[in-house]
């Protein structure tokens, strides 16, 4: 018989899917690394499991312990899968910017959820960063995941996502494009691909209101770049240790409106029901058109599933209120 020993054994080995209509103007082949095929419907399943397994090995996470993490939702879902299977309690701290669906899904998986304000400084006691750290200190036998600075995040993608892309393209991949949040995906995949072929270009998709693009180009952390934005899952007002700027060849910024509109277009023109960051990612690919040639193979990674955004990007009334639809 052929079966997985637990749901955790189904993480990874996601397909590459050709983008057709939305990239018709491009001279190259564009393939989507379709991460919603993971059991938690996002790329974060990979690093969530890796971080937990490494914490177990290092003695940081003990039997019957409590896992505490600040998350935009998807890492929390990956942690919830592993916590359930392995017998841990999970506390997720998120922001009021995240979709209601994400909070409801975390609760449905048995997680305790704390919602914090978005529009505060990272070191403010009310921020989700500070709240997660405080809870981990106060709760006995608790482990703070800290996906932003935890090296197991990037390591997961060096060991799984990167090799999968290399093997699936038979080593022909020329560009890797992905939205950047914690930095684990772009840094882990990018480091692996460049170890196989240093000429592969690695592009990050950033959002307006985030510090990544300017910092990469100038080395300046400009607080004037920081302001609230709607796009979920990418961009930051901090510099996570997992973002290896030496691996990244460049960034392109995508507006909230374009990210939302292209999220809808992926569903309606490609049959791809995906999350908000996928809209940003495919628009980022289109903005990078001048960098692609006829025989190039561009792989763009799509993080998560559209079910997390039904009340937002897939709700035309919400889209009109934001000024994203006429």
- Ranges of CATH 3.40.50.1100 domains, the chain: 7-37+160-321, 44-144
Which pLDDT band, with edges at 50, 70 and 90, does 12 fall under? very high
Which pLDDT band, with edges at 50, 70 and 90, does 98 fall under? confident
Q: Where are the alpha helices (DSSP H) in the chain?
A: 44-57, 74-86, 100-108, 128-138, 151-156, 162-168, 184-196, 212-218, 256-270, 276-287, 316-321
- Please tell me the predicted confidence (pLDDT) of residue 254: 98
Domain 44-144 has CATH 3.40.50.1010: no
5, 18, 33, 44: which one is catalytic?
44
Cβ pair 236, 209 in contact under 8 A: no
Q: Of 249, 309, 320, nearest to 280 (Cα)?
A: 309
Does residue 170 have a pLDDT over 90?
yes
Percent of the chain with pLDDT over 70: 100
Beta bridge partners of residue 144, listed in sequence order: 68
Task: For the domain covering 7-37+160-321, report its CATH number.
Answer: 3.40.50.1100
What's the average model confidence in pLDDT over 86-112? Answer: 92
- Please tell me the predicted confidence (pLDDT) of residue 294: 96
Which pLDDT band, with edges at 50, 70 and 90, does 97 fall under? confident
Active site includes 100? no
Q: Could you report the per-residue pLDDT of 114-160, keeping only the tens digit for each?
A: 999 988 888 899 998 899 999 999 999 999 999 999 999 999 999 99
pLDDT, the chain, mean: 96
Alpha carbons within 13 angstroms on the beta-carbon side of residue 4 total 9
Alpha carbons within 13 angstroms on the beta-carbon side of residue 304 total 26
Which pLDDT band, with edges at 50, 70 and 90, does 59 fall under? very high
């Amino acid at each position: 018989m052929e079966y997985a020993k637990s749901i955790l054994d189904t993480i990874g080995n996601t397909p590459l899917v050709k983008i057709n209509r939305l990239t018709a103007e491009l001279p190259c082949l564009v393939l989507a690394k379709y991460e919603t095929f993971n059991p938690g419907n996002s790329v974060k399943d990979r690093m969530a499991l890796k971080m937990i397994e490494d914490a177990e090995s290092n003695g940081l996470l003990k039997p019957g312990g409590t896992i505490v993490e600040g998350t935009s939702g998807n890492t929390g879902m990956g942690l919830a899968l592993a916590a359930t299977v392995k017998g841990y309690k999970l506390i997720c701290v998120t922001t009021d910017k995240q979709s209601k669906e994400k909070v409801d899904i975390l609760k449905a998986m048995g997680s305790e959820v704390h919602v914090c304000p978005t529009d505060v400084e990272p070191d403010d006691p009310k921020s989700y960063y500070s709240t997660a750290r405080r809870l981990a200190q106060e709760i006995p036998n608790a482990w703070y995941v800290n996906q932003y600075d935890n090296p197991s995040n990037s390591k997961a993608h060096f060991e799984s996502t990167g090799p999968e892309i290399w093997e699936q393209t038979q080593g022909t991949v020329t560009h890797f494009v992905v939205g950047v949040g914690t930095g684990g995906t772009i840094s882990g995949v990018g480091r692996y691909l460049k170890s196989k072929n240093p000429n592969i270009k690695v592009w990050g998709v950033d959002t307006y209101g985030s510090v990544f693009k300017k910092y990469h180009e100038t080395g300046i952390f400009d607080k004037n770049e920081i302001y609230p934005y709607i796009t979920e899952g990418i961009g930051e007002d901090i510099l996570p240790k997992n973002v290896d700027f030496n691996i990244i060849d460049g960034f392109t910024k995508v507006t909230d409106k374009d990210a939302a509109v292209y999220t809808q277009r992926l569903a309606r023109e490609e049959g791809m029901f995906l999350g908000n960051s996928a809209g940003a990612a495919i628009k980022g690919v289109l903005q990078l058109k001048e960098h692609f040639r006829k025989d190039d193979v561009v792989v763009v990674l799509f993080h998560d599933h559209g079910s997390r955004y039904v009340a937002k990007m897939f709700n035309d009334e919400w889209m009109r209120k934001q000024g994203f639809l006429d």
